[in-house]
Structure 1
Amino acid sequence: MIESLFIMLIFMKIGFFCYGGGYAMMSFLQDYVVKYNWMSIKDFTEIVAISQITPGPIAVNLATFVGFKNTGVLGAILATFGIYFPCVVMSVIVSKFFRKFSETKAVKNIMNGIKPASAGLIMASAFSIGIQEIFSQTEFNGIYNYIKSFKPLSFIIFLVSFILLSKTKINPIFIVIASAFVGIFIF
């Protein structure tokens, strides 16, 4: 019970201090998951992949999976509540404030500042997860060992997916599904 409440409080903290959706939250989630040994980096990466496939917001899916994996159904419920609660509270407060002051220069400047910060958080998370998938060694202890842990097939899947996403008009969902099947057959 205590561990479930602790997980809920951590997810409330993440929900209060992250703006920009599930992808912006991932780097914070990863930090806490590692810090409290809730699961390995590999497990976290797999849960991120599962969360992208399952219906619903990615942050809620991640919270539910982390809570369930660590303390069962109660943990899943409390972690999900923890991630939702700050959003509901902030939405009510901000909507009243925003309606009143939306056309002021200060509010417009704040909104313009939040956009690049969210993009930076998303890029940091994508980079971190990408490195973990392309290199089997998660900690740097010498360039030789790091290069030795390089997984060329993972890099090829990434590179082909990136090229298809940036150079064609193929729906990203099809690219993700195709990459998943290729990964299943190769690994």
Structure 2
Amino acid sequence: MFASRVLGIDPGLTRCGYAVVDGRGPSNVRAVSMGVIRTPASDPLATRLATLRMEFTSLIAEFEPDVVAVEQVFFQVNVRTAMATGQASGLALAEAAIAGCEVIQYTPNQVKDAVAGWGGAGKEQVQKMVQARLKLSTLPKPADAADAAALALTHLSMSPIGRQQRQAAVR
């Protein structure tokens, strides 16, 4: 059966969550790595972006994902935050494409719906569902890393192989 390695990225300039998940569909999944890339707010923007780029390149080289799933910058009240998130997202998308990975984006509501069963789920609900789906002994923290894992799980659930497995389970 086809297996897929997904790198989930929850983009941010100060805190950028990442998670690597191996899967054979929505229910046969395993966490490989999870964490947060941090850049100091006191550093110049160009330095922070360069740090993110190097970290994305390293993650892709180390884990060799088939797919990189990035949260789509959908809406932010704070324009400055939206710009920073958009810049981090753009770097992740570009680095994944350069590496030859399939690149896909999901909105926050798509992720919440796929992982928690409701597009309006809160951060803690998402964390609990990520913990349950990945069979983790503790709640995944920080929330940025849990969100990145939720992105990877969303892709495994929504990809063609995930849809095939859900349909087979219903039959």
TM range (shorter): under 0.3
Report the structure number with the largest CA radius of gyration: 1
TM-score normalised to structure 1 length: 0.24
TM-score normalised to structure 2 length: 0.25
**Whose relative contact order is higher, 1 or 2, with alpha carbons under 8 Å and at least 6 apart?**
2
Structure in which a larger fraction of residues adopt strand: 2
